[in-house]
Amino acid sequence: MSYSPLPHLRRALVALLLTALALAAAGCGREGSPPVKGPKSSELPTYPVARNFTLPASPTWERARRRGHLIVGVKEDQPYLGEKDPASGRYTGFDIEIAKMMSAALGFPPATLHFTTISSANRETALQNGQIDYYVGTYTINGKRKKLVGFAGPYYLAGQSLLVRSHEKDIHGPGDLAGKRVSSAAGSTPAQRIQAQYPRTQLVTYDTYSACVDNLLTYQVDAVTTDDAILLGYAAKVPDELKVVGKPFSREPYGIGVPRADNALRLALDDALAADEKNGSWKKAYDVTLGLSGVPAPQPPPIDRYPAS
């Protein structure tokens, strides 16, 4: 056989073309296209769906049954907690796993869940006007909010902290914030605490924490304050540019928000959380999501089954 360079060249060109097509189909390699966010589906636990489950005392559950699926309010820009991949629309994170566990326990396959992004300031209204069935998104349980909505849980205990640029030398705790520009999300407990307890701070609120972090990176503000769980996720994404400083200075027990009058749903979710903490699902979910920001799985806080009022 005589040697001819042509078939080799043609094969190389075809291979190049195929690679380019595969990359284009996968959405990679295009300038500015972000990497896919969140763990792969194969890395996530699955939750057995309760069979023949009914909850006739819950108007929220009955409405979801007639509709055929649950609608859950979440966050979409909080790494390892609630994050939406812009290309696929898929949501991942610890809060998303909690939402899926609860769906399975209520008899709805998690794959049928409809997620909708609701910001910190709009959670109570979304639950009050029936836009969502329940809410899982770094939602602190407190007395003021309990007048407006119900809470199952808590399923996690966070604490308010501070995120600064990695070269920052002056800010180590909330006592160093006088005269500093500090941002947080509108309607959040950390924003309220800064206003009430550190009035010499120049508080700047945005709708989302990703907007707060963008403004920190571009020197519009000096720090971002919210729960350590949220801030550690942002810091883990760009460790060269951001760091979390000081010790947590509040207790933020995360609950699942439900319509206030729906005690049957609230107590069913408390039961489901207790079961998932016992059977290992809670820890498995934590390890593949929030655990990636560097903190090993803690003991979940005790569930507070408070009486109806």
Shorter beta-carbon distance to ligand GLU: residue 140 or 293: 140
Residue 134: count of CB within 10 angstroms of its CB: 30
In whole angstroms, the minimum distance from the beta carbon of 15 to ligand GLU comes to 49
Q: In what order do the strands lie in the sheet with 149-158?
A: 114-117, 71-74, 134-135, 252-259, 149-158
CB 261 within 8 A of CB 66: no
Q: How far is the CB of 107 from ligand GLU (least distance, A)?
A: 28
Point out which residues bind ligand GLU (CB under 6 A).
120, 137-140, 185, 188-190, 226-227, 252
Tokens of 275: 């079961």
Cα torsion angle, 175, 203, 252, 219, sign: negative
Which residue blocks in 49-138 are alpha helix, DSSP H? 59-67, 94-105, 123-128
Of 105 and 158, nearer to ligand GLU (C-beta) is 158
Measured CA to CA, the distance from residue 255 to residue 252 in angstroms comes to 9
The DSSP H or E segment spanning 215 is helix 209-217
Least distance from C-beta 295 to ligand GLU, angstroms? 16
Looking at beta carbons only, is 58 or 92 nearer to ligand GLU?
A: 92
Distance from C-alpha of 152 to C-alpha of 104, rounded to nearest angstrom: 16
Q: In 10 A of CB 257, how many CB atoms?
A: 28
CB nearer to ligand GLU: pick between 38 and 73: 73
Shortest separation between residue 264's beta carbon and ligand GLU, angstroms: 24
Single-letter residue type at 309: S
Cβ proximity to ligand GLU: between 120 and 281 the closer is 120
Tokens of 53: 């489950």
Distance between CA atoms of residues 104 and 288, nearest Å: 19
Query: Kindly report the CA angle at 153 between 116 and 272, in degrees rounded to 5?
Result: 80
CB of 255 to ligand GLU, least distance (A): 9
Which residue's CB is nearer to ligand GLU, number 137 or number 153? Answer: 137
φ, ψ dihedrals at 285, nearest 5°: -65, -45
**Nearest distance, CB of residue 161 and ligand GLU, angstroms:** 11
Task: Please say which residue, 61 or 151, places its beta carbon nearer to ligand GLU.
Answer: 151
Which uninterrupted H or E stretch holds 18? helix 5-26
Minimum CB–partner distance for residue 138 and ligand GLU (Å): 4
* Shortest Å, Cβ 230 to ligand GLU: 6
209 vs 282, beta carbon nearer ligand GLU? 209
Considering only CA atoms, give the Rg of the chain. Answer: 23
